[in-house]
Amino acid sequence: MTHFSTAGEGLELTSPDARITVKAGAEHTGGAYELFEVDAPRGPAVPPHTTPWPKAYYVLHGRMTVLVDDAEYELGPAASITVPPDAPHTFTVRSPSVQFLAFSLTDAMGRFFRDVDRSIPAGTALEDAVPALVEVVGRHGIELRGTP
């Protein structure tokens, strides 16, 4: 099945640390993979955590530090990183904002993003969203490893 998406198109989902646009969802790929455009403001993202699915990030603009298994990686435009399943990871935005692509196998990441969007009102500060976020991550096999 072919799916075409232009700039500005795609289902927009919100989370306390980013705006996520679904560029190719599981419904477009038969559940094989998903592609998201992530826009995040300066500062830390969610606390270090593990996910049962692998993922990759590719930076479009801005700068971010990605922490994976206690190693820090500085990413700028055109840089990419893979995050293995079950590896503790998080990121911190170093520029005023960062825009990156997140690629994930299966439909697990999309189900998680959709649950966050439904469960936490848009505009909720990350520190205020932590109790609801703990409930959401528990439904998706994600383990938090610290606090923001």
Q: What are 12-68's pLDDT values in tens digits?
A: 999 998 999 999 999 999 999 999 999 999 998 888 999 999 999 999 999 999 999
Per-residue pLDDT at 3: 87
Would you place residue 148 in the very low, low, confident or very high pLDDT band (cuts 50, 70, 90)? very low
Cα separation, 17 vs 2, in Å, equals 31
Q: What is the pTM of this model?
A: 0.92
Per-residue pLDDT at 5: 86
Average pLDDT over the chain reads: 93
Say which CATH class 11-141 falls into: mainly beta
The pLDDT > 70 percentage for the chain reads 98
Would you place residue 147 in the very low, low, confident or very high pLDDT band (cuts 50, 70, 90)? low
Cα separation, 73 vs 142, in Å, equals 22
On whether the CB atoms of residues 82 and 73 are closer than 8 A, the answer is no
Tokens for 31, please give them.
């559940």
User: Considering only CA atoms, which of 120, 122, 82, 124 is closest in space to residue 102?
Assistant: 82
Cα separation, 69 vs 3, in Å, equals 35
